């Protein structure tokens, strides 16, 4: 049987819910008190709390099959084995798209948070933080850039130059420029697979596909459809959607 209620830790502030410590709790599926005002109860699966059905490490209960990392750099991966309630550990690290984070008494590989900035239409800007803007001017707009240069993060900049479409009421993108690793790549409107790279004397790149450009030994892959991926380390280091 189970008891549900409240205990304030003294002899005066406590109460038990009606039905506690009675056969009604044992047969909770048949005698549910859902929708009965002022009464509630829950059933706990013994497999979730019984040490005989899991492992214990650092004073914490782990379910069978549960995985965790044992060190702050996530280099030792451990698992509570299903058949003998023992913890087995081996060397393993997070994937390139995961980062090691503490949670309780252990560490876990968590997916890096990502965000997307989309420029479309005449022209519309859907920002990294989910807002939608419409800029109809013929200015140059900063789409993404590292605000402060540091030794640990590579500098990059993505800018778009607009032009009026027929009249002054509507504009669209005339040219896109991407600056990274000392190169400035210009992607003009209607280029159809051709880009301008500055400085031209250092150009040793090649097209790997219709939309993927590679700059030789720099191992830089750039999707010219403006799919720019930044890691979580760039968080709070980007300047976005400003007029130049």
CA–CA separation, 145 and 154 (whole Å) = 10
Length of the chain equals 244
Q: Where are the beta strands (DSSP E) in 93-217?
A: 98-103, 106-111, 118-120, 124-126, 132-134, 140-146, 156-164, 171-180, 183-188, 196-198, 206-207, 212-214
DSSP structure class, residue 54: E
pLDDT in tens, 174-197: 888 888 777 788 877 776 666 667
pLDDT in tens, 196-206: 676 654 444 44
- pLDDT on residue 204: 44
Q: Does residue 99 have a pLDDT over 60?
A: yes
Q: Does residue 123 have a pLDDT over 70?
A: yes
* Window from 54-58, 136-140, 209-213 with minimum mean pLDDT: 209-213
Q: Are 142 and 239 in contact (CB under 8 A)?
A: yes
- pLDDT on residue 79: 92
- pLDDT on residue 235: 61
- pLDDT on residue 8: 54
Query: Would you give the end-to-end CA distance of the chain in angstroms?
Result: 70
Q: Which helix (H) or strand (E) segment is 48 a member of?
A: helix 46-49
């Amino acid at each position: 049987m189970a008891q549900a209620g409240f205990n304030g830790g003294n002899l005066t502030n406590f109460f038990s819910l009606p039905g506690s410590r009675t056969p009604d709790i044992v047969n909770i599926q048949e005698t549910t008190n859902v929708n009965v005002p002022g009464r509630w109860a829950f059933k706990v699966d013994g497999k979730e709390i019984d040490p005989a059905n899991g492992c214990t490490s650092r004073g914490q209960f782990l379910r069978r099959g549960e995985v965790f990392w044992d060190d702050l750099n996530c280099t030792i991966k451990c698992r509570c084995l299903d058949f003998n309630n023992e913890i087995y550990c081996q060397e393993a690290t997070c994937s390139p798209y995961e980062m090691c984070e503490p949670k309780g008494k252990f560490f876990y590989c968590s997916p890096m948070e990502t965000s997307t900035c989309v420029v479309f239409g005449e022209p519309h800007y859907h920002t990294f933080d989910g807002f939608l803007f419409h800029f109809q001017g013929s200015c140059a707009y900063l789409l993404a850039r590292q605000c402060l240069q540091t030794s640990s993060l590579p500098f990059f900049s993505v800018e778009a130059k607009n032009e009026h479409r027929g009249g002054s009421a509507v504009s669209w993108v005339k040219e896109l420029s991407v600056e990274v690793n000392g190169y400035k790549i210009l992607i003009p409107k209607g280029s159809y697979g051709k880009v301008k790279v500055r400085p031209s004397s250092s150009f040793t790149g090649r097209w790997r596909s219709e939309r993927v450009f590679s700059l030789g030994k720099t191992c830089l892959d750039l999707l010219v459809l403006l799919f720019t991926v930044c890691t979580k380390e760039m968080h709070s280091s980007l300047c976005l959607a400003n007029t130049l």
